[in-house]
Amino acid sequence: MITFIRPNILAAILLLLGTFSIAQAQDNARLAESLFQKKDFQKAALIYEDLHEEKPENSAYYENYLECLINIKEFKKARKTTRRMAKITGYPLIFMIDECWVNQQEDPDNKSNNKLYRLILEKAQDNISLALQAADRFQSRDMTEEAIDILTQTENIYGSNPRLSNQIALLEMQNGKRLKALDRYLDLIVRANAPHDQLKRIFDTYITDSADVMALQDMLLAKIKQHPQVTGLSEWLKWTFVQLQDWNKAFIYTRSLDLRLKEDGYRMFDLSFLCATNGDLKTAIQCLEYCIKKGEDAYNYYEAQSRWFELSYQYAEQENLPLSQNFDNQIFAFITNNAPSKSTLPSAIIWSKRLTQKNLNDSAIGVLSNFTKSEYLDKKTTAEAKIALSDLLIQNGDVYKSELLLAQVEKQFKDDPIGQMAKFKRAELSFYRGDYDWANMQLDVLKGATTQLISNDAMELSLCITDNLGIDSNYTALEWYSRARLFQRQKQSDSAFYYIEKIAQSFPSHSLGDEIMLMKAQLHEEKGAYTEAADIYDKLVDIYPDDILADNALFALAQIQQYQLKDMTKAKANYEKIIVNYTQSLFVAEARIQFRKLRGF
């Protein structure tokens, strides 16, 4: 009697078998991959052979199987595999290159490779796209010389082509033939107006040595003589000056470009930011002055004016130079003639500081109050104005109104960096009042702040509280230190000195020693006693080299040595110490800029 299996049962059995087969294949693939990663190529090759046989279209199986065969020196089987793939895939050229690679792995001087390579070359030159594909495959097999050769010979047949030239130049750059590559890139700029952004990515990656930058500079100067009408060459010449930190020449060439092309100064405006970011405020100011002289039709005219006031003020403070009455007249006219806006706020903040220096506190408060009350400002700019006004009110002794403004900003921008800044400043006010528990609660939240600066400041103040609160059940030293910090903030240096000296005399071995030394140095610096300040900063680093304030002191010391004492050798040495010894410091980036500036590129 014949028994028939019902169709639904048969389908279920087949499904189970299929599922088992898929699961088995996946297990084999994972095992092969594990053996491959462990470099057990002999065992991995056995499994990959079956996997590749079953699914030749799977590129991962093919690549790993071929790699295994090369490692166990099964070159004959490897060649057979590449030839089989050439037949069944319809892409013979790619797998002919793989066979060429297998031959090279077996014997770099294999003469049969010459014949195969000539065949590859002949097929690749059918069109430019095929040549590029062949070069890409050679490159993936670390046969860069062959990739360059194929593209160069194709170029000889089809003539100059931007796609070919660009790829040849990139391969030469990656292969260490930078000067040849640069010459080709410059030809691309002349002939095909090669995109600046595309080349910038390549140049930023590969042209990092000063000798290469200077070689490029010489090549550009020669090309500009031959092709003065190609503005892209001048733009790249400016790039070399920027790389070499030669800001004056960068300014000269940017100006020549702007005049030749009759532009609106946008290049010069952008250069001003580059110069300022890299510490050359003087040239940055020159750039902005050029933009301003072009008149109201210039690029970002009003922002250029505002930036000029901001950088001129910074430069005067940095170099300890007096600001002229003309500066005051100009900034007053700028604030008066322009309605409150995002671009005029930085100038308003500077003008309020100038008025405060002249003891015109009410006028200073009035300037910033106009911004906080303006109906035309966006919320973020209004918040920035409120924070600036709160700082001024603290300096003027009005702590209540200051905290009110900060609370408004914190509430409106709870999770924004500006809201976190307001929260930190409120914590500082609580610290001044002696409300240490509440201050520490806020600081603990801010340790995870979005910006590293706020997070770092919160960490420093929190440690100051936790390290010194309740030592021997005596809060007196910390309370005196809090008052000293408030007086320092209010520019009452004599009162600040009084309290820190009082701590030093009453508690000579108190753990606030590092904070007291740092404040004493800062107060001397603010009074213009730079030698005394430098000595104290130096002692702080020497006594507390591992303290959280050590990098603050070392950076401040380097800045004084560079700008006030004009001791560039010591300044450079201290910037280098920050870079080497305090790798997590917030000052590392700026220290690196100043170190390069003092050392040369």
- Tens of pLDDT, residue by residue over 300-327, are 899 999 999 999 999 999 888 999 999 9
What is the overall mean pLDDT for the chain? Answer: 89
Burial level of 306, CB count in 10 A (0-12/13-18/19+)? buried
Domain assignment present for 207: no
pLDDT over 50 at 17, yes or no: no
Give how many domains the chain has, as a whole number.
1
Domain assignment present for 566: yes
Rounded to whole angstroms, how far apart are CA atoms 345 and 335? 9
Rounded to whole angstroms, how far apart are CA atoms 391 and 175? 56
Give the count of beta carbons closer than 10 Å to the beta carbon of residue 161: 17
Q: Quote the pLDDT of residue 14.
A: 46
Domain assignment present for 520: yes
Domain assignment present for 564: yes
Q: Quote the pLDDT of residue 5.
A: 53
- In the chain, the amino acid numbered 74 is E
Domain assignment present for 598: yes
CATH of the domain at 554: 1.25.40.10
* pLDDT tens sequence across 149-204: 999 999 898 888 888 988 999 999 888 888 899 999 899 888 888 777 778 888 88
Residues of the chain with pLDDT > 90, as a percent, come to 64
Q: Quote the pLDDT of residue 121.
A: 86
Which is more confidently placed, 355 or 233? 355
- In the chain, the amino acid numbered 335 is I
Rounded to whole angstroms, how far apart are CA atoms 521 and 540? 9
pLDDT average, residue stretch 442-471? 85
* pLDDT tens sequence across 81-104: 999 999 988 888 999 999 999 999
* pLDDT tens sequence across 124-143: 888 899 999 999 999 999 99
* pLDDT tens sequence across 362-372: 999 999 999 99
Compute the 3-state secondary structure of the chain and give helix, strand, coil in percent, each to the nearest 5: 80, 0, 20
pLDDT over 60 at 23, yes or no: no
Which domain range does residue 517 map to? 512-601
* pLDDT tens sequence across 284-303: 999 999 999 999 988 889 99
Rounded to whole angstroms, how far apart are CA atoms 415 and 420? 7
Instruction: Determine the Cα angle at 459 with ends 596 and 443, to 5°.
Output: 140
Instruction: Using alpha carbons, select from 89, 86, 111 the residue that is nearest to residue 97.
Output: 86
Rounded to whole angstroms, how far apart are CA atoms 487 and 496? 5
Distance between first and last Cα of the chain: 96
Q: Quote the pLDDT of residue 366.
A: 95
Rounded to whole angstroms, how far apart are CA atoms 149 and 175? 13
CA distances in angstroms from 364 to 292, 359, 368, listed in the order given: 26, 9, 7
- In the chain, the amino acid numbered 295 is G
Whether 100 and 116 have beta carbons less than 8 Å apart is answered as yes
Give the count of beta carbons closer than 10 Å to the beta carbon of residue 236: 26
CA 175, distance to chain mean position in Å, is 27
Domain assignment present for 544: yes
Rounded to whole angstroms, how far apart are CA atoms 538 and 521? 10
Domain assignment present for 587: yes
Domain assignment present for 577: yes
Residues of the chain with pLDDT > 70, as a percent, come to 94
Give the count of beta carbons closer than 10 Å to the beta carbon of residue 521: 25
